[in-house]
């Protein structure tokens, strides 16, 4: 019997991506093809300022992209980090998976690899994103904004409306196979060379074809230390529902951080189980701004293409449930 296919993506802009991925799945396409097609749609949308073309740049004004893709049936993965000049990094990540004996390529050599595989070298800044960077730059007092202060690290990067809207994607196809993806321009105005959670297998995304798939969005510097996507899949393997598994992984993340820093965290997860059940959770409702609600999208054979909200693991519920 065919499995009820479904794709789940992060954020409001994920709805268009989910609809695109669902078209692939409805045509009998594989989960990994759906993930790539859906990711590309968002990467190429100049209106989405946190992914691909039009993404906000690093402190030097350079757009550095991170992306990864993982295939359930083969448990293979490919990823790129700090990639410049290529509009569709999730497709480069897939080529890394298919055409190298490795899993991850970074920086100039990731670009060199992409160019060898026929990707075009293009300007990723739009007039809008360039203007936003110029405004930010004009408000910085340090001479070398690329490396910020030289003093000791204090606290977390401040949450601003410019950060953390990575698209994470998980899919189950009609053949019963799973895949996941992540693609992002990362934190706006980041220190050049900074890599977030998105291209890190186990943190930004994870798939076990016998259990399920998960992907994340949010404060990557913190999320990667808690390996949240792996935790989510492992929790589904212990019998938790996708939503319960996302909540458990986020609770772990929060438990490792001082409660007073909870307001600085934006972290969210999406998941799909092998049987087609889907779920999600977030640490907060307004991620970087009160009007920027955590939303996630899904579309599938038995799931209408809709936006969902929540559930939220508020600091209070997290603390009281520990
Ligand atoms: N989650 C994306 C990032 O922090 O780069």
Tell me if 21 sits within 8 A of 5, measured CB to CB.
Answer: no
Query: Secondary structure of the chain: what % helix, strand, coil (to 5)?
Result: 35, 25, 45
Residue 80 Cα to ligand 1 middle (Å) = 13
Of these residues, 42, 166, 184, 232, which one is catalytic?
166
Residues with Cβ < 8 Å from 129, sequence gap 6 or more?
49, 54, 55, 56, 57, 63
pLDDT of residue 197 exceeding 90 = yes
Whether residue 319 is contained in a domain is answered as no
**Which among 48, 162, 165, 166 is the best mutation to test ligand 1's pocket, defined by most ligand atoms within 8 Å of the CB?**
166
| Ligand 1 touching residue 61 (CB < 6 A) | no
CB atoms within 10 A of CB 291: 7
Residues with Cβ < 8 Å from 153, sequence gap 6 or more?
none
CA 173 from chain center: how many Å? Answer: 20
Q: How many domains does the chain divide into?
A: 1
| Cα 101 from Cα 94, distance rounded (Å) | 12
Whether residue 322 is contained in a domain is answered as no
Q: Read off the DSSP letter of residue 72.
A: T
User: In the chain, what is the straight-line distance between the N-terminal and C-terminal CA atoms, in Å?
Assistant: 41
Note if 166 is an active site residue: yes
- Read off the pLDDT of residues 102-139 as tens digits, 9 standing for 90 and up: 999 999 999 999 999 999 999 999 999 999 999 998 88
DSSP H/E element including 198: none
**Which among 63, 220, 226, 265 is the best mutation to test ligand 1's pocket, defined by most ligand atoms within 8 Å of the CB?**
220
More confident residue, 165 or 316: 165
Q: Cis ω on the peptide bond leading into residue 311 (within 30° of 0)?
A: yes
Helix spans in 117-160 (H): 127-138
Whether residue 1 is contained in a domain is answered as no
**Which among 181, 218, 229, 294 is the best mutation to test ligand 1's pocket, defined by most ligand atoms within 8 Å of the CB?**
218
From 188, 186, 274, 168, select the one nearest 229 (Cα to Cα): 168
254 pLDDT band (50/70/90 cuts)?
Answer: confident
| Ligand 1 touching residue 196 (CB < 6 A) | yes
Helix spans in the chain (H): 14-26, 31-43, 89-99, 107-116, 127-138, 220-226, 228-237, 242-255, 315-321
Residue 318 Cα to ligand 1 middle (Å) = 22
pLDDT of residue 155 exceeding 70 = no
Torsion of Cα atoms, 271 then 203 then 56 then 60, to 10°: 180
Instruction: Supply the pLDDT for residue 269.
Output: 96
92 pLDDT band (50/70/90 cuts)?
Answer: very high
229 pLDDT band (50/70/90 cuts)?
Answer: very high
Q: Could you tell me which residues are beta bridge partners of residue 9? A: 169, 297
Residue 185 Cα to ligand 1 middle (Å) = 8
| Cα 79 from Cα 93, distance rounded (Å) | 4
pLDDT of residue 309 exceeding 90 = no
More confident residue, 295 or 119: 119
The CATH code of the domain that includes 302 is 3.60.20.30
Structural domain boundaries, residue 242: 6-312
pLDDT of residue 322 exceeding 50 = no
Range ranked top by mean pLDDT from 2-16, 135-149, 288-302? 2-16
């Amino acid at each position: 019997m065919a499995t009820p296919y479904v794709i789940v993506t992060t954020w409001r802009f994920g709805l268009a991506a989910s609809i695109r991925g669902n078209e692939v799945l409805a045509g009998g396409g594989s989960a990994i093809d759906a993930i790539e097609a859906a990711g590309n749609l968002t990467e190429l949308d100049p209106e989405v300022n946190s992914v691909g073309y039009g993404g906000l740049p690093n402190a030097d004004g350079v757009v550095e992209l991170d992306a990864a893709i993982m295939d359930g049936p083969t448990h293979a993965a490919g990823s790129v980090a700090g990639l410049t000049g290529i509009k569709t990094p999730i497709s480069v990540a897939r080529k890394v998976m298919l055409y190298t004996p490795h899993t991850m390529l970074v920086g100039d050599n990731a670009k060199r690899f992409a160019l060898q595989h026929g990707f075009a070298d293009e300007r990723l800044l739009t007039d809008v994103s360039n203007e936003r960077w110029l405004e930010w730059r004009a408000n910085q007092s340090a001479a070398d904004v690329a490396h910020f202060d030289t003093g000791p690290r204090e606290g977390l990067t401040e949450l601003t409306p410019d950060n953390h809207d990575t698209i994470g994607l998980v899919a189950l196809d009609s053949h019963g196979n799973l895949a996941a993806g992540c693609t992002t321009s990362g934190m706006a105005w980041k220190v050049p060379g900074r890599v977030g959670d998105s291209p890190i297998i186990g943190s930004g995304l994870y798939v076990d074809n016998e259990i399920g798939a998960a992907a994340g969005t949010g404060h990557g510097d913190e999320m990667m230390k808690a390996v949240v996507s792996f935790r989510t899949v492992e929790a589904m393997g212990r019998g938790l529902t996708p939503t319960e598994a996302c909540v458990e992984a986020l609770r772990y993340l929060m438990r490792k951080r001082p409660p007073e820093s909870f307001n600085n965290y934006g972290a969210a997860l999406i998941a799909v189980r092998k049987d087609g059940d889907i779920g999600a959770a977030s640490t907060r409702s307004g991620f970087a701004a009160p009007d920027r609600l955590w939303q996630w999208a899904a579309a599938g054979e038995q799931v209408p293409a809709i936006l969902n909200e929540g559930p939220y693991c508020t600091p209070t519920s997290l603390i009281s449930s520990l």
